[in-house]
Chain A
């Protein structure tokens, strides 16, 4: 596992506030475009191909929490 999954950002709350501030006043579409640019910029900074694949996999499989519960038919 090359992807860092333990807390790694100093001043977590400060970063989170900065992330929200970057989206302040943007339309939904502008926000999405900003996120897309941000992902590409960060991905280039990471560079490590294995870590990027792990990040993509992790993002795809997380996020179930908070979704409507699966109905029996889905299972």
Chain B
């Protein structure tokens, strides 16, 4: 069944009838990143307005691979379980050269996590769930068919010109967050440079609907016999939809390649029959670019407007949700006056670090998949030739390194006796807790988690962890007790085997960049 694109309700904006009081936060773009950020801020008690030029979810499946970290973030925002229930869970990826399997990976070899390694789910479902949650929130003013056509920074605030079907109006806001995608109109209106690398190789994306029993795995082929000399990628999605991604070469004609008479025979060679329906087709090239800074005074960028990568590591939508996690609690603290605006500098630093890691991985995969003539091609082919026969070369075959959250380089208290998985800067690993999960117990605030010991008396919310096998492996290692300070985005801020209340409170104050 093709997806039913329903229209979201359009309502006449107040600003059309009378000037609106200054907003504290306006988000431009109701895609997955803008909506997730709105829900994160609303969950922290902040009022937020979201402007979107359209009134439907994204057309075509677009971002489909949602990482464990993204699912944990979506879960905190109230839609994670829905995404997992609807999506196709997978953790194994297989890479083939010609018709031989040369490499496979298991992204979640251990148990004891609420969320799976990856779920494939069309972007339109994720947007639908987020939009429903946002529409239900009394703190979110979601305005469809409100196109931003002017943005000017006026000292300490931003003036936004908005176009609606019923006329134009103006909004003033203390903060504007641009979640308006890779072609970001806000970025263009501010004249910001989007530097990086453009890859000229063309790829065909086709979503097809068919009855099939392909396993829930990611499959990638280098030079398969069904698509000679190029690469191919297959992903399973819900509703019997399969994503097929075919490399076409740099000299392909995008318009011609989109036509069903070209696409259908190509797909037929992949799946071996014609018993399928084309759901969505797109031809793309990709880029690896980022803004130099993600915070420009009162204008903040998150998601594709701030950074874009090739699609092969699932690092687009997932890195955008990581931006949301790193920004939400900080922006909320600035909006409520708890922290000075310079706290947003920490968002910029951390996510620039994350973007660089994504760009590095993405460019390396792109180079391997689309080698330039000469030495690049020579070594790529050498790796593939060796990988069919010899173990060491198998992991060198780079079909995309799948999105994992980066470990932020924090200067924070740490103890070498504690295990690396939960070091400061890493996302606090999930573990079973009673009948539930640690992630749920941590919630959206700062938590002092005590493992195998009593937490010292501080002003912080304390959590006495249930010590079980998974939790001990992830949080104790060789130690018998530990204290963990965990941030509102569930990143480990600091940890000790032993600490005084004062040491813990000092580390907590540092999170908000409050001098103590």
- List chain A positions with a Cβ less than 8 A from chain B: 32-33, 36-37, 39-41, 44
Contact = CB atoms under 8 A, between A and B. Distances in A.
A44 B394 CA distance: 12
B386 A33 contact: no
Nearest to A37: B382
Contacts of A40: 379, 382-383, 386, 393, 396
A33 B392 contact: no
Nearest to A45: B392
Interface centre among A32, A33, A37, A39 (most CB of B within 10 A): A37
A40 B397 CA distance: 12
Of A33, A36, A41, A44, most B-chain CB atoms within 10 Å: A36
B499 interface: no
Contacts of B378: 32-33, 36
Contacts of A44: 392-393
A23 B481 CA distance: 62
B381 interface: yes
Q: DSSP majority for the A interface? A: helix
Given A40-B393, A44-B392, A33 B381 contact: yes
A36 B385 CA distance: 10
Nearest to A38: B382
B320 to A, nearest CB: 33
A37 B384 CA distance: 10
Contacts of B390: 41
B24 to A, nearest CB: 50
Given A36-B378, A37-B385, A41-B390, 18 more contacts: A32-B378, A33-B378, A33-B382, A33-B385, A36-B379, A36-B381, A36-B382, A37-B382, A37-B386, A39-B379, A39-B382, A40-B379, A40-B382, A40-B383, A40-B393, A40-B396, A41-B386, A44-B392
A40 B393 CA distance: 8
A39 B381 CA distance: 13
Interface in B364-410: 378-379, 381-383, 385-386, 390, 392-393, 396
Contacts of B381: 33, 36
Interface string B140-173: 0000000000000000000000000000000000
Contacts of A36: 378-379, 381-382
7 contacts: A36-B379, A36-B381, A37-B382, A37-B385, A37-B386, A39-B379, A41-B392
Nearest to A29: B378
A24 to B, nearest CB: 19
A70 B136 CA distance: 73
Contacts of B393: 40, 44
Interface in B291-343: none
8 nearest A-B pairs in the assembled complex, by CB-CB distance: A36-B382, A44-B392, A37-B382, A36-B378, A36-B379, A40-B382, A32-B378, A37-B386
Interface centre among B381, B382, B383, B386 (most CB of A within 10 A): B382
Contacts of A37: 382, 385-386
A32 B379 CA distance: 10
A32 B380 CA distance: 12
Nearest to B392: A44
A33 B378 CA distance: 6
Nearest to B396: A40
A53 B166 CA distance: 64
A32 B386 CA distance: 14
A33 B382 CA distance: 6
Nearest to A43: B392
B376 to A, nearest CB: 11
A46 B105 CA distance: 25
A53 B252 CA distance: 38
A19 B378 CA distance: 19
A32 to B, nearest CB: 6
Contacts of A33: 378, 381-382, 385
A38 B189 CA distance: 53
A37 B385 CA distance: 8
